[in-house]
Structure 1
Amino acid sequence: MQTRLNQNLLEAIDRIEKARIATDRRRIVQLVAVSKYSSKEEIATLYTCGQRAFGENKVQDLQQKASALETLPLEWHFIGALQSNKINALLHWNPYLLQSLHSLELAQALQLRLERENKNLKALMQVNSAKEESKSGFMPEVVLEMYARIQEECRNIKLCGLMSIGAHTEERAVIQKSFETTQNLFAQIKDAEILSMGMSGDFELAIACGSNCVRLGSTLFK
């Protein structure tokens, strides 16, 4: 297993680096390993190969894996749709980053809990850049206004950029447009640091469009 996962990781890093160098040699691109279909043994093995950041999209799965692997200094990212009744459970594990802040209502609910517990939480605002009904996130037209509002009203949430999922289509031009939409918004936000775009099927295109954080699952754990 270690040989396979190590090879997958090296190949993914090579592809990330080639896409990065072709676009912007100065940019650093973070790799988040999406471990939602992976076992704690696979995560621990990938850790020994050098991977540190892991993403889960269900609070229960993050709880189980973070608990089982708490002796390892892993950087947990939550990347799924967070329900209000799961906030306490998520905050208990102090995730490094919430990548999927998808509504003002969720931000307000998080702020109440964070303030009560005297905690802060780093987060990315999720953008529904392709305006797809199947996806969560803020519509592009309101992103800048809502970003500023959350910064003003939810002081315990430390917004540090944007996240989006590429358009659900085989048409490269449509996917590229969805990434460019998010990148254009990101460029207008002062002090935004993280632009999380790109998954196993489209991460090289996302990097070409400005992404500095990619979320890879099947590419690493195949």
Structure 2
Amino acid sequence: MTDRKAELADNLARVEERVARACSTAGRRREDVTLIVVTKTYPASDVRLLAELGVLHVAENRDQDAAPKAAACADLPLDWHFVGQLQTNKVRSVTDYASFVHSVDRPRLVTALSGAAVRAGRETGCLIQVTLDGESGDVGSRGGAPPERVADLAGEVAAAEGLRLAGVMTVAPLTGPYAGRPGAAFEELWDISTRLRAAHPAANMVSAGMSADLEEAVAAGATHVRVGSAVLGVRPRLG
């Protein structure tokens, strides 16, 4: 085993232990929580090693990095998740490789994704990104729809050709009433998901939690946790 593969294997084992322990503490089954490894800034060679280690879900947040990486790994049995802010001029590229887009936050993006998915002959799973930063109605700096807009936006996704409403996503807020309280933020996301599932029962994905707060996310009901640095190491500084 190469040094890098051994490093990744050790890191994955530690993350797996954390997820399993969090599930046990929350009284949940381990198989009900999906680990998504966020591979941003790391090379396709790392993605290949992760696949050899049994990883099935990987995520990226910049299309200019993700598209060539996904192409280089097209032979691998991976689901690619796009988790970053998405500009409408990038949707055609993203729908070519991403099984899920976690950052749907505005009607214009829904329209663009729908057109691109139809042209590509693909069905794209869409999660509504919910911002819990600041006061209700403000759009957080990292994107997202305010809670009161989720129902309408979800309805647009559900009605759009080529798209499948998959669930909701959030990032632990840096500002506002939930700043420093990721567990409370994730509980609020779960409540939003519960209301969404009353109207759209199949929209059952709850994407929350990263390396620093995955335990709080699992405790609050997250079905998918997005872990990067805990698996791949401290990210290199981008120029």
TM-score by length of 2: 0.85
2:169 aligns with 163
Residue pair 2:37, 2:231 contacting (<8 A) in 1 also: yes
Letter in 1 for 2:209: G
1:220 aligns with 231
Inter-partner Cα distance in structure 2 for 1:51 and 1:19: 19
Residue pair 1:198, 1:215 contacting (<8 A) in 2 also: yes
**2:3 counterpart of 1:4:** no
Identity across the alignment (%): 30
TM-score by length of 1: 0.91
Inter-partner Cα distance in structure 2 for 1:61 and 1:165: 21
Residues 1-222 of structure 1 aligned to structure 2 (within 5 Å): 1-26=4-29, 28-93=32-97, 95-131=98-134, 133-152=140-159, 154-168=160-174, 174-190=181-197, 191=201, 192-222=203-233
2:236 aligns with none
| TM-aligned CA deviation for residue 112 of structure 1 | 2.5
Gaps of 5+ in 1: none
Please provide the CA RMSD for this pair.
1.8
Runs of 4+ in 1 over 4 A off after TM superposition: none
Residue pair 1:52, 1:74 contacting (<8 A) in 2 also: yes
| TM-aligned CA deviation for residue 172 of structure 1 | 7.6
Residue pair 2:127, 2:165 contacting (<8 A) in 1 also: yes
Gaps of 5+ in 2: 234-239
Residue pair 2:95, 2:120 contacting (<8 A) in 1 also: no
Number of positions where the alignment pairs a residue of Structure 1 with one of Structure 2: 219
Inter-partner Cα distance in structure 1 for 2:48 and 2:149: 40
Query: 1:107-135: per-residue Cα shift (whole Å, max 9, x none)?
Result: 01212233344432111110002346312
Residue pair 1:125, 1:163 contacting (<8 A) in 2 also: yes
